[in-house]
A and B are shown apart, each in its own frame.
With several copies, the nearest count.
Chain A
Amino acid sequence: MTKIEIVNGPIGFFSNDNSRQQDGAELVFNGHVRATEYGEKITALEYEQYEGMAKTELTKLSEDTVKKFFIHDLFCKHRIGRVDVGETSLHVVIWSKHRKEGLDAMTWFISELKKRVPIWKWAILNDGTRIPSECSHE
């Protein structure tokens, strides 16, 4: 199963779940905004999305990931709008029987997200300037 949310405002984490009988591995990734973007000091990032398409692509990607790696569930929240340094911009939870498929799925999911989901970062510099954050995939 997949759950996808694109949220404007702080991310509420998916809640704990001790009721699962067959999922031995719960893997969580939280992406946080760092104080430097391409060598430049920033105070925040502003995430911009292609409304509609971002949600569609993220949903499709999640479903692809669940099928490709035989994991049970993938939940993902991506924040848009202003995200201050230190705060969480991306929250992904993967449930699987064993850890290996969860780790592989997480690696692939985030790497694909950074290739195909139409979301962009604007750097907000210390002087208040707002510019598209250079560059792309890591």
Chain B
Amino acid sequence: MIKVTIKCFSQVKYAFGKDELNLELETGTSTLELENIIREKAKGKLDTVSLRIALNQKYIPIQTELKDGDEVAFIPPVQGG
């Protein structure tokens, strides 16, 4: 098992009412699998929201196997400016 921290922003934060989620996952879980877990946990609230994945504060273009201690963020469309 591995432990990961999920940072929540904007619509993700709104869906969970939390800044951060701490999850225990099967060893070998990928970022894409985690996204599915998160979307399911949100019970439909994120169905229309497109999410990019940042792993340890960097956008990653393809799915990646998670490691113990990773920081993950599912990034809703950004809105700076």
Contacts and interface: CB of A to CB of B under 8 A. Distances in A.
Contacts of B7: 50
B62 to A, nearest CB: 17
Main secondary structure of the interface of A (DSSP, over half): mixed
A113 B81 contact: yes
Contacts of B77: 135-137
A73 B32 CA distance: 39
A116 B59 contact: yes
Nearest to B54: A53
Contacts, number: 65
A53 B73 CA distance: 10
Interface residues of B, number: 18
Interface in B35-62: 54, 57-59
A52 B80 contact: no
Interface of A: 31, 47-48, 50, 52-54, 56, 78, 89-90, 110, 113-122, 131-133, 135-137
List the 5 shortest-distance A-B pairs measured between CB atoms, nearest first.
A136-B77, A119-B80, A120-B10, A53-B57, A121-B79
Interface of B: 7, 9-11, 13-14, 54, 57-59, 73, 75-81
